[in-house]
Amino acid sequence: MKIKTTRFGTISIKKDKIIHMPSGMLGFSEKKRFVLFRHKENSPFFWYQSVDEPSLAFVVTSPFLFVPEYSVDADDAAKAMFWNDAVESDLELYVVANIPKGEPDKMTANLIGPILINVKKRQAVQMVISNSPYSHKSPIAAGK
């Protein structure tokens, strides 16, 4: 399957790599299909590209790379998605990164809105964590 993107031109993806988000991303609830691919080989960053909107793509990364003790209770999200049979190896957690142009030392990540992906079912949900010690603009650059 080919999809058009603003950043990458037309890309080929396998239909079985599409991730379905019944509620979409925050602020983009009508966009429900995404594909995840690595920014560059060995990069800690990925692109979470909308299949439905060429200009909609998020930079995501693992929160554990810069906050090893990061912890969220994914049980409620898993139950809401009817993933009661999911095992930990079926689930991946990402956070949206913000990388200001020309200022990589000012990178931040949204640690209160992680994306939980069930890789086995190819479904995802963006969680909203209330009463969290984390921030939507947590520094992620080395040494911060």
Tens digit of each residue's pLDDT (9 = 90 or more) over 85-118: 766 778 899 999 998 888 888 899 999 999 999 9
Write down the pLDDT at residue 144.
41
Write down the pLDDT at residue 143.
44
Would you say residue 92 lies in a domain? yes
Would you say residue 42 lies in a domain? yes
Work out the mean pLDDT of the chain and round it to a whole number: 88
Would you say residue 144 lies in a domain? no
Q: How many domains does the chain have?
A: 1
Q: Which of 59, 25, 67 is nearest to 43 (CA)?
A: 59
Write down the pLDDT at residue 20.
96
Would you say residue 135 lies in a domain? yes
Q: What does pTM read for this prediction?
A: 0.88
Would you say residue 89 lies in a domain? yes
Write down the pLDDT at residue 92.
92
Per the structure, the complete domain to which residue 40 belongs is given by: 2-139
CA distance 39 to 7: 11
Per-residue pLDDT, averaged over 51-68, amounts to 94
Write down the pLDDT at residue 142.
53
Would you say residue 19 lies in a domain? yes
CA distance 20 to 90: 15
pLDDT digits (tens, 9 = 90+) for 2-37: 999 999 999 999 999 999 999 999 999 999 999 999
CATH number at residue 83: 2.30.290.10
